[in-house]
Amino acid sequence: MNTISFGIEVIDENCTGCYRCERVCPTEAMIMVGPKTEALAVVDNDKCIACMRCIDACDDDALRAINREEPIVQDFDPEGVDPEAVKELCRAADMAPSHLVCPCANTTAQEIAVTILNGATSYEELSLRIGVQSGCLMYCSVPLRRLMMASTGNAQDSSKVRRYPDDQSLMDIDPELDARYPLFQIRTEQEWRSREKAEADVDF
């Protein structure tokens, strides 16, 4: 569950049209409107998850956080979702259902899987439904990609956030590398991961 207590306000007279805010917004809440050389930032607070990345990107004091009259509470909805399908999707992405995916929104793999099975097909939709990517933008990026890829073979991203396709996971490592890099105990950890995925169950 994630609570969004803030939105963003644009101070038009300070905006210089640099486009930086648009490029860091994970939900396309922040867009530039107008001819390219004269565009100014415009925010759609219905799509803002209060990650504050736009404020961080702004050098012109053109954005500020504002309190929402009513906080938005984001949560996943397991109603009608087959637990076996959730389990299989997590396994395919090399995670147990309880695997923590987004520490900032305190979201696990099973919650992401449920949301994907409920129709979310992109990073933006996942953010808007359950608040992932609302914090550090670091931890959750690869698990989100793996879960989407395992579901549809595609990890859609319509935002202008820069992404790269790295998505390796423990079970992808060639176990023969154990001989070259014994300190890392590749085979041992792969056995643990296999066991955990086999034994783990969903817990809504």
Site for another protein in 84-103 (CB under 8 A): 94, 96, 98-101, 103
Minimum Å distance from CB 55 to another protein? 9
Coil, helix or strand for 56? helix
User: Is 156 a binder of another protein (CB under 8 A)?
Assistant: no
* Full DSSP string of 113-172: HHHHHTT--BHHHHHHHH-TTSS-SSTTHHHHHHHHHHHHS--B--SS---------GGG
User: Is 139 a binder of another protein (CB under 8 A)?
Assistant: yes
- Compute CA 89 distance to the chain's CA centroid, rounded to the nearest angstrom: 17
Q: Which segment (10-18, 37-45, 122-130, 134-142) binds another protein by CB under 8 A?
A: 134-142
> What is the residue type of 18?
C
The residue (of 82 and 189) whose beta carbon lies closer to another protein is 189
Which residues are at the interface with another protein (CB under 8 A)? 2-6, 24, 50-52, 56-57, 65, 94, 96, 98-101, 103-106, 131, 134-143, 145-146, 162-170, 172-174, 177, 180-181, 183-186, 188-190, 192-193, 196
